Amino acid sequence: MELRNKVAVVTGAASGIGLAMSERFVADGMSVVMADIEVDALTDAVARLQAAGAKVEGIVCDVSDADQIASLRDSALAAFGAVHVLCNNAGVGGSGKPTWKTSPAVWDWVVGVDLLGVAYGVQAFAPLMVDQGEGHIVNTASEAGLCATPMLGSYHAAKYGVVGLSEALVMELAGTGVGVSCLCPELVATRIFESTRNAPAHLDLPAPKPVPMEMLEGLLKTTALDPGVVAGNVVDAITEGRFWVLTHESTRLRVHHRNENLESGRTPEMLAIGDDL
């Protein structure tokens, strides 16, 4: 798909990977609807890009609410007349507790944003892309949608769900002109570790501890990617019509190891980042 003069909608666009995808789409000549729940960060990002001449609109939207996603679609059509690329990217990391200590309210939050937000995006936007015979949907899953580690049970459940949903979707949309990509990053230097900043107040989760810049810079020198690199991976996948978007070679090794466990009947074990596979 040629991106110039087309329209993208990006959720979770006020920070991290979503912001980087929005910036990259603008640089590639697209109009972008940037959607997020975090009002101040969204307003700042949109104002900065508009001041630089970009065709962007900001829409406050909670992706876990199907009605708000339907309004997002209507606002995008009102602003730019069509939608060619949808990035279902908004996500939260969960509470960092063991699965068996995760409350129903936290399950609702994590699955609502990370899995249902993607499902609602697909349901709202795919029909108009099928009607126009052209489009591309990018669902942000994670390496955590392919392999599991402890303390992230609700996140894994949601992200494995996004992978399965995306695999079904690409088969369903074959021949319609609408492509699908499933983005499965490993570590990217974003604010994902501060996700509780966006948790509903009634969950009463502890305020996030800001990740120290030295730590992020240290990670960037080792395993964590700059979000702009991931945005480049996404643009390549859209233009090439490629489904899987893996950001780290180690993901293939971890998936291979998991598949070996599965095929041989071995019980899953903890693998740390950097473990020799």
- Spatial separation of the C-alpha atoms in residues 64 and 230, rounded to whole Å: 24
List the one residue from 9, 32, 76, 113 that touches ligand NAD (CB under 6 A).
Answer: 113
Is 155 labeled as catalytic in the residue annotation? yes
Q: Tell which residue, 110, 138, 116, has the closest CA to residue 126.
A: 138
Using H for helix, E for strand and C for coil, what is the string for 137-165?
A: EEEECCHHHCCCCCCCHHHHHHHHHHHHH
Closest distance between ligand NAD and the C-beta of residue 145, in Å? 8
Closest approach, Cβ 82 to ligand NAD, in A, equals 22
Which of 23, 28, 38, 126 touches ligand NAD (CB under 6 A)? 38
Q: Any alpha helices (H) in 35-103, and if so which ranges?
A: 39-51, 66-80
Q: How many residues bind ligand NAD (CB under 6 A)?
A: 30
Q: Which of 7, 10, 11, 181 binds ligand NAD (CB under 6 A)?
A: 11
Q: Which of 64, 155, 157, 251 is catalytic?
A: 155
* Site for ligand NAD contains 135 (CB under 6 A): no
Helix count and strand count (H, E) for the chain: 9, 7
Nearest to 130 by CA among 180, 199, 90: 180
Q: Which is nearer to ligand NAD, 80 or 155 (CB)?
A: 155
Exactly one of 22, 95, 102, 140 binds ligand NAD (CB under 6 A); which one? 140
The residues carrying an active-site annotation are: 155
